[in-house]
Structure 1
């Protein structure tokens, strides 16, 4: 795990020296690196002085097949392992050389807080493959146009241990037979950034078995053209998102042509200081965000919140979200902005799963399913990876239905999806990440 609160502990001097290096070429294997590459061996443990390396606890080994200096050797492990690189915030293309010159491989790649980028990339005997992913890296510092610090996002205590907000790009290599030959990192200044603002149903959940659609959606875009920047956080309301300066951080990073996806409801509907009334303050706040996005040349997209798992006796979903989805729909129509009606699609999806089948999409597990989980988990709001993946497929469907320009960058074979006929859970593959918790995320 990264050093807790690394962002807050980094000195300005450190950030302004090493972090100015934005391009790297790493040769994973022995200490004999290919020309112009940095050798990464099992002893390359991350330190802030060096600025890159494996996170402590990554149990990796090197296999040397001989021959080509770059592709003849590789790093592997029988457990998930994590490699971090110090970088300024922004978007980056990461080229990965995977496979084995004399064997097979199977590699899943996630970044930061379990953000899915590549799933189950298999190579045949003696084959290797080059893949590119596009990743958004962020820290908690807010900067003006001249890059002068003007403030910080007010992070919650649990966020200090997240694999983001820290100026580190962290790559998680996972699966049954991961084999990594090389990693190259270059800045991507041209990609359209899709900023996500939302709560626990959108956030990059940092630990198994929890997940949300925001951490699955990068998987559905072609690399190079779109970077998903997930700024959602568990327990957030629209008011809190502003007061904690998360929205201000997005504004500071945004450029013309970028997108802002907005999905809030679950916590805004609750009584208290952050409550918003659906047809008055909720609509007004959304309209204010739309206006600010447009001032910056961004495209706002409104996402109606998915239902909670709440069935009536006939197997139909009971609406627990009140008038908020309808208020979001009205706002989209009044402001002439794109609407992604996840609320409607989730109703179809849940009812297709049914009362019992839907349990396999939410965090419902008997006691002792996971390490140190002594009591059963029964959460009807938050998803496991399978459920989050299916919700992400709904989001993709909504992007296409709204005819958004970024739809042309969707991976073609991943577009077709009918919520009335979800993917079978038995065919969903998700090798577990290392970190697990039985603690429920904020929000309900």
Structure 2
């Protein structure tokens, strides 16, 4: 059902829903637009509305081919809305849900586009703070790029900052999407441009591997990994691309590249990945609780995968979420002693495609078959050794004299 948004726009059809609000296909004085209508509880927050108006100039002035432009900000009664350019296409999360992972050439080209958009935003003093596949749109009407990739545009600028107002979140809270949060945010430091680089490098890792480097399990476990663990290597990609990923996933913000540098470097690496097929690796499991994993596996129906619980949560009393990619999840800032616990040196290591998951019923069955095979081989070897010894003894007996056989001296006459 159509509804009016302010005096200039009409929202006609819902395109999607998120934790911050609903995106509508709308109509304005200059034609079709996308309208992000924020939740009513956000619109009723007068402090947030004031911040919304303050951000208007910066957001309206952000123009770049790889940024979804904000055309207008509407404050009208209970309506708080961003009016944006309409992109004819899909988001990167939908593409990942369909393909699981992308060929390296397409992945590098898409991330280079987003890096260029971030460079323009950072130059204008705008930090996105929520870079992830859901906020990357692929323009299906644009020209195809390297690896058959469509032009990529970053959307939802300003939403994370608007929602993360002092009144809504105290200094002891974190606002963000756990899989993509930079370590300095987890440690309670203010977000600067480097947090977007970390998040974008996480997206590149996910496009290549099909999973994020520190994700899996309870959000508390994910936060700890960001701070304490190193990224696990991805087999099969050029070393130059891997070193770039490692640099942009550095724990220290100053060690990461700037957005403009990242975009340039990625395009320089495109010839190295041209024609490469998607990587052939499987996602590692989240770590199970030591006292419950075997029992859970045994109790599960045959062939049914057990849903793993991650490491011990950092937030006491919190319940495991169905998805650790929910936008703007509110989490307590972990204390230093909590972040210091549970480190294992490296993050979850990708498994070769087709390999059984450690601890799974299939993994134990393979181990049992291997033990049985080794046992059978040992029996065969032992039997063979016994037969060989018997044959050797028989041959000795056949060629020996009576004296030799009895091992006694002949009797004297």
TM-score if structure 2 supplies the norm length? 0.26
Which has more radius of gyration?
2
- Structure number with higher helix proportion: 2
- Structure number with higher strand proportion: 1
